Protein backbone atom coordinates (compact mmCIF):
# COMPACT_ATOMS: atom_id res chain seq x y z
CA UNK A 1 0.00 0.00 0.00
CA UNK A 2 1.10 3.52 -0.85
CA UNK A 3 -0.47 6.16 1.38
CA UNK A 4 -3.07 5.31 3.98
CA UNK A 5 -0.99 6.06 7.04
CA UNK A 6 -2.27 7.32 10.37
CA UNK A 7 -5.09 9.84 10.09
CA UNK A 8 -6.16 8.79 6.62
CA UNK A 9 -9.67 7.49 5.99
CA UNK A 10 -9.60 5.70 2.69
CA UNK A 11 -6.49 3.65 3.45
CA UNK A 12 -8.28 1.81 6.21
CA UNK A 13 -11.21 1.15 3.90
CA UNK A 14 -8.93 -0.36 1.27
CA UNK A 15 -7.31 -2.58 3.88
CA UNK A 16 -10.61 -3.95 5.14
CA UNK A 17 -11.91 -4.38 1.60
CA UNK A 18 -8.78 -6.27 0.61
CA UNK A 19 -8.97 -8.50 3.68
CA UNK A 20 -12.69 -9.21 3.66
CA UNK A 21 -12.59 -12.18 1.33
CA UNK A 22 -9.21 -13.35 2.46
CA UNK A 23 -7.73 -12.81 -1.00
CA UNK A 24 -5.09 -10.23 -0.15
CA UNK A 25 -2.55 -9.89 2.62
CA UNK A 26 -0.87 -6.59 3.45
CA UNK A 27 2.87 -7.21 3.62
CA UNK A 28 4.57 -3.97 2.62
CA UNK A 29 3.86 -0.26 2.44
CA UNK A 30 5.02 3.26 1.86
CA UNK A 31 2.29 4.52 4.10
CA UNK A 32 3.13 8.18 4.38
CA UNK A 33 5.28 10.79 2.71
CA UNK A 34 6.54 11.53 6.21
CA UNK A 35 9.06 8.72 6.96
CA UNK A 36 8.42 8.85 10.68
CA UNK A 37 4.69 8.49 10.23
CA UNK A 38 5.28 5.81 7.60
CA UNK A 39 7.22 3.71 10.09
CA UNK A 40 4.76 4.24 12.92
CA UNK A 41 1.83 3.36 10.68
CA UNK A 42 3.59 0.22 9.51
CA UNK A 43 4.24 -0.82 13.07
CA UNK A 44 0.60 -0.37 13.94
CA UNK A 45 -0.39 -2.57 11.03
CA UNK A 46 2.10 -5.25 11.97
CA UNK A 47 4.27 -4.88 8.88
CA UNK A 48 7.78 -6.21 8.80
CA UNK A 49 9.87 -3.05 9.44
CA UNK A 50 12.08 -4.00 6.53
CA UNK A 51 9.11 -3.66 4.21
CA UNK A 52 8.02 -0.28 5.56
CA UNK A 53 9.43 2.02 2.95
CA UNK A 54 10.12 5.71 3.10
CA UNK A 55 8.93 6.29 -0.48
CA UNK A 56 6.99 4.53 -3.17
CA UNK A 57 10.00 4.61 -5.48
CA UNK A 58 12.02 2.67 -2.97
CA UNK A 59 9.17 0.29 -2.35
CA UNK A 60 8.57 -0.46 -6.03
CA UNK A 61 12.22 -1.18 -6.57
CA UNK A 62 12.68 -3.28 -3.46
CA UNK A 63 9.52 -5.30 -3.82
CA UNK A 64 10.20 -6.02 -7.48
CA UNK A 65 13.55 -7.40 -6.44
CA UNK A 66 12.17 -9.77 -3.80
CA UNK A 67 11.17 -13.29 -4.61
CA UNK A 68 8.19 -12.81 -2.32
CA UNK A 69 7.53 -9.26 -3.50
CA UNK A 70 4.00 -7.90 -3.66
CA UNK A 71 1.86 -8.93 -6.60
CA UNK A 72 -0.26 -5.79 -6.40
CA UNK A 73 -0.16 -2.40 -4.76
CA UNK A 74 -2.97 -0.17 -3.52
CA UNK A 75 -2.42 3.52 -4.11
CA UNK A 76 -4.43 5.65 -1.73
CA UNK A 77 -2.57 8.95 -1.73
CA UNK A 78 -3.92 12.37 -2.62
CA UNK A 79 -4.71 12.59 -6.33
CA UNK A 80 -1.54 14.25 -7.58
CA UNK A 81 0.58 11.33 -6.40
CA UNK A 82 -1.46 8.66 -8.20
CA UNK A 83 0.42 9.08 -11.42
CA UNK A 84 4.04 8.83 -10.24
CA UNK A 85 3.22 6.04 -7.84
CA UNK A 86 1.28 4.01 -10.37
CA UNK A 87 4.02 4.56 -12.93
CA UNK A 88 6.70 3.27 -10.56
CA UNK A 89 4.82 0.07 -9.80
CA UNK A 90 3.66 -0.66 -13.32
CA UNK A 91 7.19 -0.26 -14.52
CA UNK A 92 8.26 -2.63 -11.80
CA UNK A 93 5.77 -5.17 -13.13
CA UNK A 94 3.39 -4.88 -10.18
CA UNK A 95 -0.40 -4.68 -10.59
CA UNK A 96 -1.95 -1.43 -9.40
CA UNK A 97 -5.19 -0.86 -7.52
CA UNK A 98 -5.67 2.89 -7.49
CA UNK A 99 -8.09 5.24 -5.84
CA UNK A 100 -10.08 7.62 -8.01
CA UNK A 101 -9.79 10.04 -9.74
CA UNK A 102 -7.05 8.38 -11.70
CA UNK A 103 -4.75 11.40 -11.72
CA UNK A 104 -4.85 15.11 -11.07
CA UNK A 105 -4.77 16.02 -14.76
CA UNK A 106 -5.66 14.56 -18.11
CA UNK A 107 -2.16 14.48 -19.47
CA UNK A 108 -1.00 12.24 -16.63
CA UNK A 109 -4.08 10.09 -17.08
CA UNK A 110 -3.36 9.49 -20.73
CA UNK A 111 0.28 8.69 -20.07
CA UNK A 112 -0.81 6.24 -17.45
CA UNK A 113 -3.21 4.55 -19.84
CA UNK A 114 -0.35 4.08 -22.26
CA UNK A 115 1.83 2.68 -19.50
CA UNK A 116 -0.81 0.19 -18.47
CA UNK A 117 -1.21 -0.98 -22.01
CA UNK A 118 2.50 -1.52 -22.45
CA UNK A 119 3.06 -3.08 -19.05
CA UNK A 120 0.63 -5.91 -19.38
CA UNK A 121 -0.22 -5.25 -15.75
CA UNK A 122 -3.63 -4.41 -14.39
CA UNK A 123 -4.82 -1.05 -13.21
CA UNK A 124 -7.98 -1.42 -11.17
CA UNK A 125 -9.62 1.89 -10.30
CA UNK A 126 -11.69 1.84 -7.12
CA UNK A 127 -14.87 3.41 -8.34
CA UNK A 128 -16.20 1.31 -5.55
CA UNK A 129 -19.90 2.05 -6.07
CA UNK A 130 -19.82 -0.18 -9.14
CA UNK A 131 -19.25 -3.04 -6.72
CA UNK A 132 -22.69 -2.82 -5.08
CA UNK A 133 -24.78 -5.84 -6.06
CA UNK A 134 -27.90 -3.83 -6.90
CA UNK A 135 -25.85 -1.61 -9.17
CA UNK A 136 -24.72 -4.73 -10.98
CA UNK A 137 -28.34 -5.76 -11.23
CA UNK A 138 -29.41 -2.36 -12.56
CA UNK A 139 -26.72 -2.63 -15.21
CA UNK A 140 -27.86 -6.10 -16.16
CA UNK A 141 -31.50 -5.03 -16.41
CA UNK A 142 -30.65 -2.14 -18.70
CA UNK A 143 -28.38 -4.27 -20.83
CA UNK A 144 -31.22 -6.76 -21.20
CA UNK A 145 -33.61 -4.04 -22.30
CA UNK A 146 -35.90 -3.89 -19.29
CA UNK A 147 -36.08 -0.12 -19.57
CA UNK A 148 -36.44 0.10 -23.35
CA UNK A 149 -34.70 3.00 -25.02
CA UNK A 150 -33.02 5.15 -22.40
CA UNK A 151 -34.15 8.75 -22.26
CA UNK A 152 -33.29 10.47 -19.00
CA UNK A 153 -30.50 9.95 -16.46
CA UNK A 154 -30.52 11.86 -13.16
CA UNK A 155 -27.38 11.45 -11.08
CA UNK A 156 -26.54 13.25 -7.87
CA UNK A 157 -24.06 13.07 -5.06
CA UNK A 158 -24.68 15.59 -2.29
CA UNK A 159 -22.62 15.76 0.90
CA UNK A 160 -22.45 18.39 3.60
CA UNK A 161 -19.08 18.13 5.26
CA UNK A 162 -17.64 21.20 3.51
CA UNK A 163 -20.62 23.44 4.31
CA UNK A 164 -18.24 25.55 6.35
CA UNK A 165 -14.54 26.15 5.91
CA UNK A 166 -12.77 23.27 7.61
CA UNK A 167 -9.14 22.51 8.19
CA UNK A 168 -8.30 18.82 8.39
CA UNK A 169 -6.08 16.31 6.67
CA UNK A 170 -9.15 15.15 4.70
CA UNK A 171 -10.31 18.59 3.72
CA UNK A 172 -7.00 20.25 3.03
CA UNK A 173 -5.79 18.33 0.03
CA UNK A 174 -9.27 17.98 -1.42
CA UNK A 175 -9.59 21.76 -1.62
CA UNK A 176 -6.05 22.36 -2.86
CA UNK A 177 -5.78 22.36 -6.67
CA UNK A 178 -2.13 21.38 -6.59
CA UNK A 179 -3.01 18.10 -4.91
CA UNK A 180 -6.57 17.45 -6.00
CA UNK A 181 -6.50 18.64 -9.59
CA UNK A 182 -8.97 20.95 -11.27
CA UNK A 183 -12.05 19.58 -9.56
CA UNK A 184 -13.20 19.97 -5.97
CA UNK A 185 -16.56 18.33 -5.30
CA UNK A 186 -16.45 17.47 -8.96
CA UNK A 187 -13.32 15.38 -8.65
CA UNK A 188 -14.04 13.93 -5.26
CA UNK A 189 -17.63 12.82 -5.77
CA UNK A 190 -18.86 14.15 -9.12
CA UNK A 191 -16.68 11.62 -10.89
CA UNK A 192 -18.25 8.85 -8.84
CA UNK A 193 -21.71 9.93 -9.94
CA UNK A 194 -20.62 10.26 -13.55
CA UNK A 195 -18.86 6.91 -13.54
CA UNK A 196 -21.86 5.22 -11.95
CA UNK A 197 -24.23 6.65 -14.55
CA UNK A 198 -21.97 5.46 -17.34
CA UNK A 199 -21.45 2.05 -15.75
CA UNK A 200 -25.13 1.35 -15.23
CA UNK A 201 -26.52 2.77 -18.45
CA UNK A 202 -23.74 2.01 -20.90
CA UNK A 203 -24.51 5.37 -22.50
CA UNK A 204 -21.65 7.41 -23.93
CA UNK A 205 -21.44 11.11 -23.36
CA UNK A 206 -21.83 13.42 -26.30
CA UNK A 207 -21.38 16.72 -24.51
CA UNK A 208 -21.95 18.53 -21.25
CA UNK A 209 -22.73 22.00 -19.93
CA UNK A 210 -21.51 22.82 -16.43
CA UNK A 211 -22.00 25.53 -13.85
CA UNK A 212 -19.53 25.24 -10.97
CA UNK A 213 -19.59 27.24 -7.77
CA UNK A 214 -17.44 27.79 -4.71
CA UNK A 215 -19.79 28.92 -1.99
CA UNK A 216 -17.42 28.97 0.94
CA UNK A 217 -15.27 32.05 1.01
CA UNK A 218 -11.66 31.48 0.15
CA UNK A 219 -12.22 28.03 -1.30
CA UNK A 220 -10.20 27.57 -4.48
CA UNK A 221 -12.11 24.64 -5.98
CA UNK A 222 -15.77 24.02 -6.67
CA UNK A 223 -17.92 22.84 -3.79
CA UNK A 224 -21.06 22.57 -5.91
CA UNK A 225 -21.38 21.38 -9.49
CA UNK A 226 -24.44 21.56 -11.72
CA UNK A 227 -24.06 19.73 -15.01
CA UNK A 228 -26.43 19.02 -17.89
CA UNK A 229 -25.57 15.97 -19.98
CA UNK A 230 -26.33 14.92 -23.53
CA UNK A 231 -25.60 11.34 -24.39
CA UNK A 232 -24.96 9.86 -27.80
CA UNK A 233 -28.22 8.51 -29.17
CA UNK A 234 -30.33 11.26 -27.64
CA UNK A 235 -30.66 10.55 -23.94
CA UNK A 236 -30.33 13.55 -21.64
CA UNK A 237 -29.16 13.86 -18.09
CA UNK A 238 -28.44 16.02 -15.09
CA UNK A 239 -25.69 15.62 -12.58
CA UNK A 240 -25.44 17.40 -9.26
CA UNK A 241 -22.48 17.07 -6.94
CA UNK A 242 -22.25 19.16 -3.80
CA UNK A 243 -20.29 19.23 -0.60
CA UNK A 244 -22.32 22.10 0.83
CA UNK A 245 -25.75 20.46 1.06
CA UNK A 246 -26.59 20.20 4.78
CA UNK A 247 -28.31 16.97 5.72
CA UNK A 248 -26.54 14.80 3.18
CA UNK A 249 -23.83 12.41 4.23
CA UNK A 250 -23.16 10.41 1.08
CA UNK A 251 -26.33 10.90 -0.92
CA UNK A 252 -25.22 9.32 -4.17
CA UNK A 253 -28.38 8.55 -6.13
CA UNK A 254 -29.00 7.36 -9.65
CA UNK A 255 -32.27 7.40 -11.54
CA UNK A 256 -32.65 6.14 -15.09
CA UNK A 257 -35.77 6.34 -17.23
CA UNK A 258 -36.48 4.68 -20.53
CA UNK A 259 -39.39 4.10 -22.84
CA UNK A 260 -40.45 1.02 -20.87
CA UNK A 261 -39.60 1.76 -17.27
CA UNK A 262 -37.44 3.37 -14.64
CA UNK A 263 -34.85 2.45 -12.02
CA UNK A 264 -33.85 4.22 -8.84
CA UNK A 265 -31.00 3.48 -6.45
CA UNK A 266 -29.49 5.28 -3.46
CA UNK A 267 -26.12 4.57 -1.97
CA UNK A 268 -27.33 5.06 1.58
CA UNK A 269 -29.80 2.20 1.07
CA UNK A 270 -27.77 0.10 -1.31
CA UNK A 271 -29.61 -3.18 -0.83
CA UNK A 272 -32.73 -1.79 -2.51
CA UNK A 273 -33.44 -1.10 -6.15
CA UNK A 274 -36.72 0.34 -7.36
CA UNK A 275 -37.93 -0.89 -10.71
CA UNK A 276 -40.92 0.91 -12.15
CA UNK A 277 -42.11 -0.73 -15.34
CA UNK A 278 -44.41 1.67 -17.16
CA UNK A 279 -48.03 0.66 -16.77
CA UNK A 280 -47.27 -1.70 -13.89
CA UNK A 281 -46.93 -1.62 -10.14
CA UNK A 282 -43.70 -0.32 -8.66
CA UNK A 283 -41.36 -3.07 -7.54
CA UNK A 284 -38.76 -3.08 -4.85
CA UNK A 285 -35.97 -5.50 -5.68
CA UNK A 286 -33.73 -6.45 -2.79
CA UNK A 287 -30.21 -7.76 -2.75
CA UNK A 288 -30.40 -11.46 -2.15
CA UNK A 289 -34.12 -11.35 -2.82
CA UNK A 290 -36.29 -12.91 -5.50
CA UNK A 291 -35.79 -10.46 -8.34
CA UNK A 292 -32.04 -10.04 -8.06
CA UNK A 293 -30.35 -11.63 -11.04
CA UNK A 294 -27.09 -13.40 -11.74
CA UNK A 295 -24.87 -10.33 -11.95
CA UNK A 296 -25.91 -9.26 -8.46
CA UNK A 297 -25.78 -12.80 -7.16
CA UNK A 298 -22.15 -13.19 -8.15
CA UNK A 299 -21.13 -10.38 -5.78
CA UNK A 300 -23.57 -11.15 -2.95
CA UNK A 301 -22.21 -12.68 0.23
CA UNK A 302 -25.17 -12.98 2.59
CA UNK A 303 -28.93 -13.45 2.37
CA UNK A 304 -31.46 -10.70 1.70
CA UNK A 305 -32.50 -8.57 4.63
CA UNK A 306 -29.08 -8.76 6.19
CA UNK A 307 -27.72 -5.52 4.83
CA UNK A 308 -24.43 -5.40 3.01
CA UNK A 309 -22.79 -2.00 2.96
CA UNK A 310 -20.02 0.17 1.66
CA UNK A 311 -17.18 -2.10 2.70
CA UNK A 312 -18.70 -5.11 0.99
CA UNK A 313 -19.21 -3.12 -2.21
CA UNK A 314 -15.65 -1.93 -2.01
CA UNK A 315 -14.46 -5.45 -1.31
CA UNK A 316 -16.15 -6.61 -4.48
CA UNK A 317 -13.75 -4.47 -6.48
CA UNK A 318 -10.88 -6.18 -4.67
CA UNK A 319 -12.46 -9.58 -5.23
CA UNK A 320 -12.73 -8.86 -8.93
CA UNK A 321 -9.15 -7.68 -8.96
CA UNK A 322 -8.13 -10.92 -7.26
CA UNK A 323 -9.88 -12.99 -9.90
CA UNK A 324 -8.21 -11.00 -12.65
CA UNK A 325 -4.76 -11.22 -11.06
CA UNK A 326 -5.12 -14.94 -10.54
CA UNK A 327 -6.17 -15.38 -14.16
CA UNK A 328 -3.09 -13.50 -15.33
CA UNK A 329 -0.79 -15.69 -13.30
CA UNK A 330 -1.10 -18.48 -15.80
CA UNK A 331 0.69 -17.72 -19.01
CA UNK A 332 -1.66 -17.57 -21.96
CA UNK A 333 -4.81 -17.34 -19.91
CA UNK A 334 -7.04 -14.28 -19.88
CA UNK A 335 -9.45 -12.57 -17.55
CA UNK A 336 -12.91 -14.21 -17.50
CA UNK A 337 -15.64 -12.23 -19.22
CA UNK A 338 -17.76 -11.81 -16.13
CA UNK A 339 -15.01 -10.14 -14.10
CA UNK A 340 -15.94 -6.47 -13.96
CA UNK A 341 -13.88 -3.63 -12.57
CA UNK A 342 -13.27 0.01 -13.45
CA UNK A 343 -10.21 0.29 -15.66
CA UNK A 344 -7.67 2.89 -16.59
CA UNK A 345 -9.97 3.86 -19.48
CA UNK A 346 -12.69 4.74 -16.99
CA UNK A 347 -10.08 6.69 -15.13
CA UNK A 348 -9.06 8.67 -18.19
CA UNK A 349 -12.70 9.43 -18.89
CA UNK A 350 -13.23 10.56 -15.30
CA UNK A 351 -10.38 13.04 -15.47
CA UNK A 352 -11.60 14.21 -18.87
CA UNK A 353 -15.02 14.70 -17.32
CA UNK A 354 -13.57 16.89 -14.58
CA UNK A 355 -11.57 18.99 -16.98
CA UNK A 356 -14.44 19.35 -19.44
CA UNK A 357 -16.76 20.54 -16.69
CA UNK A 358 -14.21 23.10 -15.56
CA UNK A 359 -13.72 24.26 -19.13
CA UNK A 360 -17.46 24.46 -19.81
CA UNK A 361 -18.08 26.38 -16.63
CA UNK A 362 -15.35 28.87 -17.46
CA UNK A 363 -17.00 29.35 -20.84
CA UNK A 364 -20.33 30.10 -19.18
CA UNK A 365 -21.76 26.64 -19.64
CA UNK A 366 -20.81 26.10 -23.27
CA UNK A 367 -21.60 22.57 -24.45
CA UNK A 368 -18.29 20.74 -24.34
CA UNK A 369 -17.09 17.31 -25.40
CA UNK A 370 -14.81 15.23 -23.20
Shorter beta-carbon distance to its own copies: residue 120 or 143: 143
Q: What angle do CA 8, 242, 131 make, to 5 degrees?
A: 60
Shorter beta-carbon distance to its own copies: residue 95 or 226: 226
Q: What angle do CA 33, 11, 303 make, to 5 degrees?
A: 170
CA distance 311 to 309: 6
Task: Single out the residue of 101, 187, 261, 350 in contact with its own copies (rule: CB under 8 A).
Answer: 261
Cα→Cα distances 275→202, 280, 353, Å: 18, 10, 28
Shorter beta-carbon distance to its own copies: residue 92 or 295: 295
Q: Which residues 268-327 are close enough to bind its own copies by CB under 8 A?
A: 268-271, 274-286, 288-291, 301-312
Shorter beta-carbon distance to its own copies: residue 143 or 366: 366
CB of 46 to its own copies, least distance (A): 8
DSSP class of residue 187 equals: I
Asked if 182 and 173 touch (Cβ cutoff 8 Å), the reply is: no
CA distance 227 to 28: 41
CB of 108 to its own copies, least distance (A): 28
Shorter beta-carbon distance to its own copies: residue 43 or 282: 282
- Which residues, in sequence order, are CB contacts of 300 under 8 Å at separation 6+? 133, 287, 288, 292, 308
CB of 245 to its own copies, least distance (A): 5
Shorter beta-carbon distance to its own copies: residue 91 or 266: 266
The residue range among 73-81, 179-187, 338-346, 360-368 that interacts with its own copies, by the rule CB under 8 A, is 360-368
CA distance 164 to 88: 37
CB of 128 to its own copies, least distance (A): 10
Edge-to-edge strand list for the sheet holding 236-242? 205-213, 224-231, 236-242, 150-158, 253-258, 261-266, 272-277
Asked if 196 and 254 touch (Cβ cutoff 8 Å), the reply is: yes
133-172 footprint of its own copies as x/- string (CB under 8 A): ------------------xx-x-x--xx--xx--------
Question: Does 337 participate in binding its own copies (rule CB under 8 A)?
Answer: no
Question: Does 48 participate in binding its own copies (rule CB under 8 A)?
Answer: no
- Which residues, in sequence order, are CB contacts of 117 under 8 Å at separation 6+? none
Shorter beta-carbon distance to its own copies: residue 11 or 347: 11
Taken in order 318, 324, 96, 176, is the CA torsion positive or negative?
Answer: negative
CB of 335 to its own copies, least distance (A): 22
Asked if 112 and 122 touch (Cβ cutoff 8 Å), the reply is: no
Q: DSSP letters of 130-152?
A: GGSHHHHHHHHHHHTTTT-SEEE
Shorter beta-carbon distance to its own copies: residue 119 or 360: 360
Shorter beta-carbon distance to its own copies: residue 337 or 364: 364
Count of positions on this chain that bind its own copies (CB under 8 A): 85
205-244 footprint of its own copies as x/- string (CB under 8 A): ----x-x-x-x--------x-x-x-x---x-xxx-x-x-x
CA distance 54 to 346: 30
CB of 119 to its own copies, least distance (A): 30
Q: Which residues 66-125 are close enough to bind its own copies by CB under 8 A?
A: none
Q: Which residues 18-37 are close enough to bind its own copies by CB under 8 A?
A: 19-22
Asked if 258 and 120 touch (Cβ cutoff 8 Å), the reply is: no
β-strand partners of 5: none
CB of 196 to its own copies, least distance (A): 15
Task: Single out the residue of 13, 59, 94, 155 in contact with its own copies (rule: CB under 8 A).
Answer: 13
Question: Does 267 participate in binding its own copies (rule CB under 8 A)?
Answer: yes
Amino acid sequence: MVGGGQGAFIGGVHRIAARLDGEFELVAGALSSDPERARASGRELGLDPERCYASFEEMAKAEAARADGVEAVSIVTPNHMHYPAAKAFLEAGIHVICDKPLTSNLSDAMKLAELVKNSGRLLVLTHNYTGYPMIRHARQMIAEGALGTLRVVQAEYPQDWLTEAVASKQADWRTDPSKSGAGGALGDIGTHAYNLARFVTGLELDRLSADLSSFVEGRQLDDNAHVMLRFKGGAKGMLWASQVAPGHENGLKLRVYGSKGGLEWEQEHPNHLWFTPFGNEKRLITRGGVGAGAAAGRVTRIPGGHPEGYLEGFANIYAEAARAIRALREPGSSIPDDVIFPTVADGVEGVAFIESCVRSSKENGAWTTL
